[in-house]
Amino acid sequence: MGSGSELFKVKTLAEALDSLKPYVLSLYQQGEEVSLADSLGRIVSRDISAPCALPHFRKAAMDGMAVRASDTYGASESMPALVQCSGEIRMGEAPREPLGPGAGILIPTGGMLPEGADAVVMMEHLEHFGEGLCGVARPVAPGENLIDIGEDFSAGEVLLPRAARIRAQEMGILASIGLTMVPVLPRFRVGILSTGDEIIPPGQEPLPAQSRDINGYALLGQALACGAEARYYGIVKDDLEELRASLKKMVSENDIVLLSGGSSVGIRDLSAQLIDSLGEPGILFHGLALKPGKPTIGGVVDGKLIFGLPGHPASAMVVFESVVRPCLEASLLCPQAEPFPQGKLSQNIYSGNGREEFVPVRVLSKEGECLLEPIRGKSGLIRTLVSADATVHIPLNTEGIEAGKKVFFKFWR
């Protein structure tokens, strides 16, 4: 278990995430399969490759006539190329005969081209002269107006990399390769507990010096948005034995436990010692070089992750986004370059405090450009994040960012 000196050693965000990796990996080994119909929002547990090319036949991209492109060279409205129509291709039926020189065959969008045909003439560029004779008013090049074999993807190509989240379009591509059962990461069970003598449920009227529980529900929403099976366990007062009993129950019932509150130094230290005493290896870090979010605790007990999050709402939510979400969404093990948008800062942002910082911003549109307006507010105020559309990340040991500079930002989900 962690020693007392380790409890107060502040780690960088990168160091904290690195310390969690081996334990998160063991959680990911509990993969499962779900039906394609139930796969929306799940995260794939392995690379999924195409067993075959798509399409597996050459198909028309629009209604028209399948032809040999060479038969249309030199065609114009004043002197159309003449082709003999040999019938019509029906949807879902393979052509019975190859297409010979000087011939064409009517084809619907998505229809299979016959052997010998290498282009499709649009319907509006055809003239019908009777007795099956047609004029082509505009030439087509080989491959024009058709979708070739493997043009969507080729056999063996990785369609979804490990840790990709399944959206509606991913469901479509999985259906196209006939994958009706999808390998996914488990839907992690997340337990959330709020602590503090001053915290009361939202349905109660607060007395002087009492506050309704904000963090419990904000963290519940964040966990649910990640696709977790999240459960709110309510509020525990600043009592060590009551807290110990609650944490033991939560560790037995969940993969990840989130403990929020303990805003006083003494209570925070008790929480850390309690987590460290529940099982091996105990505390991994106590304190992050992060603003907001410095008083964050991270530990592992019997393979379960436990996080002690700050009591201030903005701090707790930023720590969730920075530390907990990467564990839930597999980006901790399989980092993917997300296409973060860019915008210009409307004001200077000052930092230089030896910590990474996440600054909430409003995203505005001005003269066709994306403008980021920093929101000033203390970490104890939930309104700060309600007003925010996104956050801007200021890396470690950066003194600040000047107004007018383009920076990446990440939308709050």
One-letter amino acid identity for 387? S
CATH tag, 33-54+151-184: 3.90.105.10
Query: Regarding the domain delimited by 6-30+186-328, which CATH topology (the fold level of the hierarchy) does it fall under?
Result: Molybdenum Cofactor Biosythetic Enzyme; Chain A (3.40.980)
Q: Give me the pLDDT at residue 355, please.
A: 81
Q: According to the model, what pLDDT value does residue 338 have?
A: 58
Contacts of 352 (CB under 8 A, 6+ apart): 397, 398, 399, 400
Give the C-alpha separation, 36 to 190, whole Å. Answer: 24
CA-to-CA distance for 19 and 237, rounded, in angstroms? 30
Q: What is the pLDDT along the chain (413 residues), one digit of tens a residue?
A: 444 444 447 899 999 999 999 999 888 888 899 999 999 999 999 999 999 999 999 999 999 999 999 999 999 999 999 999 999 999 999 999 999 999 999 999 999 999 999 999 999 999 999 999 999 999 999 999 999 999 999 999 999 998 899 999 999 999 999 999 999 998 999 999 999 888 999 999 999 999 999 999 999 999 999 989 999 999 998 888 888 999 999 999 999 999 998 545 556 667 788 888 888 898 999 989 988 888 899 999 989 999 999 988 888 999 999 999 999 988 877 766 556 888 888 888 887 667 888 888 999 988 788 899 988 776 667 787 888 888 888 888 777 788 888 888 888 87
3-class SS at 175? helix
CATH superfamily of 342-411: MoeA, C-terminal, domain IV (2.40.340.10)
The number of beta carbons lying within 10 Å of the beta carbon of residue 313 is 23
Structure tokens at 59: 């198909």
Using alpha carbons only, give the angle 321, 322, 326 rounded to the nearest 5 degrees.
Answer: 85
Domain spans of the chain, in order of start:
6-30+186-328, 33-54+151-184, 59-147, 342-411
Residue 345: burial class (beta carbons within 10 Å; 0-12, 13-18, 19+):
buried
Cis bond before residue 206 (omega within 30° of 0): no
Would you state the structure tokens that stand for residue 263, as one six-digit string? 């805003």
Residue 346: count of CB within 10 angstroms of its CB: 15
Nearest to 99, CA basis, from 120, 145, 122, 68: 68
CATH class of the domain defined by 59-147: mainly beta
pLDDT at 250: 96
pTM for the model: 0.81
